[in-house]
Chains A and B, each alone.
Chain A
Amino acid sequence: MSTTIEQMNRVSFDADRIRADFPAATRTVHDGRRLVYLDNAATTLKPRVVVDALAEHMLLGASNVHRGLHYLSERATEAYEAARDSVCDFIHAAAREEIVFTNGTTAAINLVAHSFGSLLGEGDEIVVSQMEHHSNIVPWQLLCERRGCVLRVAPIDKNGELILDAYRDMLSDRTRLVSMVYVSNSLGTVNPIEEIIAGAHAVGAKVLVDAAQAVATRAIDVQALDCDFLAFSAHKLFGPTGVGVLYGKQVHLEAMPPFLGGGDMIASVRFEKTEYNRLPYKFEAGTGNIGGVIALKPAIDYVSAIGFDAIQAHEQDLLTYATDVLRGHEGLRLIGTAREKAAIVSFLVGEVHAHDVGSILDQEGVAIRAGHHCTQPVMEFFEVPATARASFSIYNTREDVDALSLAVRKVEELFE
């Protein structure tokens, strides 16, 4: 029965039509080879509607927001704030005041580490997992140095799954914040985020969800999750680089001091006393990436029109197929075999270094990432210097998996 449903999903999901919306997905590389883009965990390609929105702002708008009284500034402000409403709906936030634009997930996490972190003190504990991206490790290490907090690391098992019991044992009344990744960028693991959040709340700790890798793969409802903070980047959601979102419960954002000081984040400035602006502007100092924010809205509209049920079914099909096909390669080792995974496959081809794999695949037109994926503790845990990583998105097909497999065969031939 499940086969029938999978087949139906594959038929109803028209990856070729989607591909046509992404000019880069239909281009060639290296003198005429079809590009097989499997580096979606690094950044997704951009559909024409997103590029058009960005170009329209740059060419016809280009005004600053929240200050000009003229026509162009008003239009830019409308579009900028419409994007905020769009994000608010997209992640089911309770209010638009809870949506802060940053320049990316990293900046959003750093904002929390500085602002929320300034409320922490000696001996307060922050819990992350062993599978975090460096951007969800280093800001907390810096905070620990500043405030004397303690960083604790919840371990993973050989499949790349969080060991929930060990995580729960780590929680105590000293835990102030749990900052954890929803979907691992190097392993593909989908963490049991509801249980992680429930465990943290049970001891009174707040939770930041790093949704950078999750946001393009599943519907996110911050109220249902009951997370305190959630961060993601537009560029992994078919939007432009240089735009990120920090969601924070209003009650927390109200209690937190500003992060960056400057224009737009103030109500009034006097040398005696400066009053800060209301939310979310309190956290948006300076001129942001206005065109990028405006172009995030069509990206959200684009994925919403396809729908996450269809996207997930398609990507799970690709994941299953890719896993089967790669397992058929003798000597190939999969890194990250969690029961619940997003369409991310990290692997090693025999003894061949991942960079050699990456270069050879690239010559075949297959774009993957090779390296530690900014998760060195994960590489250390699996005792590998680097992995090759293929990550799939809405415009990928089973033919792309076949092309990957053929290119891997080329690696094997060259290094046999």
Chain B
Amino acid sequence: MSALDELYQQVIIEHNRKPRNFRVIENATYVAEGFNPICGDHFHIYIVVGDDGCIEDVAFDGKGCAISKASASMMTQALIGKSEIEARQLFAEFNSLAKGDLDPDKDDNTLGKLAVFSGIWKFPARVKCAVLAWHTATSALDEVDIVSTE
């Protein structure tokens, strides 16, 4: 597979074309805004946390390139049903994957379908596109921390 085909895998193209959970959640537990000033990528991430502390619903809206949009779309699917700890673990794994520090075929991971981003590290300028939604979601969860300590 060429580097390009590895970057723009069918799954990514497809999620870009038809992003999942691409909507606004009114009254979300947490809303965070992610912005990449160099690219102009701009997303809002909406997270609903249930009484049991698990993520019940995640959605996003905004504008971005195929990589950032597909990543956001797949992230929403991956986060639903996860606990906060599991979500953070997944973010850490995804971050390592995007930077080329984690090989999904060799290293232990819970990435599942997200492994489709394993070729992104070969495109250093695009790593930030792939992790934008994840950083945004984490900053929303950090707000949870701040709120819970008060």
Contacts and interface: CB of A to CB of B under 8 A. Distances in A.
A379 B40 contact: yes
Interface of A: 30, 352-356, 359-360, 363, 371-372, 379, 385-386, 414-415
Contact of A363 (B3, B40, B42, B63): B3
A67 B123 CA distance: 48
Nearest to A384: B40
A360 B65 CA distance: 12
Interface in B7-55: 7-8, 13, 16, 38-42
B39 A386 contact: yes
A359 B122 CA distance: 11
A355 B2 contact: no
Interface in B34-92: 38-42, 63-67
B65 A356 contact: yes
Nearest to A411: B8
Given A355-B125, A360-B8, A414-B13, 13 more contacts: A356-B65, A356-B67, A359-B7, A371-B38, A371-B40, A379-B40, A385-B39, A385-B40, A385-B42, A385-B63, A414-B8, A415-B13, A415-B16
Contacts of B144: none
Contacts of A415: 13, 16, 66
State the majority secondary structure of interface residues on A. helix
B40 A356 contact: no
Contacts of B126: 355, 359
A234 to B, nearest CB: 25
Nearest to B129: A355
Contacts of B2: 363
Contacts, number: 44
Q: Give the size category of B's interface with A.
A: 20 to 34
Contacts of B67: 355-356
Given A353-B64, A415-B66, A363 B4 contact: yes
B45 to A, nearest CB: 18
Interface of B: 2-4, 7-8, 13, 16, 38-42, 63-67, 123, 125-126, 129
Contacts of B7: 359
Contacts of A30: 3
Contacts of A359: 4, 7, 123, 125-126
A190 to B, nearest CB: 26
A354 B16 CA distance: 14
Residue of B8, B64, B123 with most partner-chain A CB within 10 A: B8
A309 to B, nearest CB: 38
A415 B69 CA distance: 14
A386 B4 contact: no
Contacts of A371: 38-40
A415 B63 CA distance: 17
B39 A352 contact: no
Nearest 4 interchain pairs by C-beta: A385-B40, A353-B65, A355-B65, A363-B4
A254 B2 CA distance: 61
Contacts of B3: 30, 363
A159 to B, nearest CB: 22
13 contacts: A353-B64, A353-B65, A354-B65, A355-B39, A355-B67, A356-B67, A359-B126, A360-B4, A363-B4, A371-B38, A385-B40, A385-B41, A415-B16
Nearest to A352: B66
Nearest to B123: A359
B79 to A, nearest CB: 24
Contacts of B66: 352-353, 356, 415
Contacts of A353: 64-66
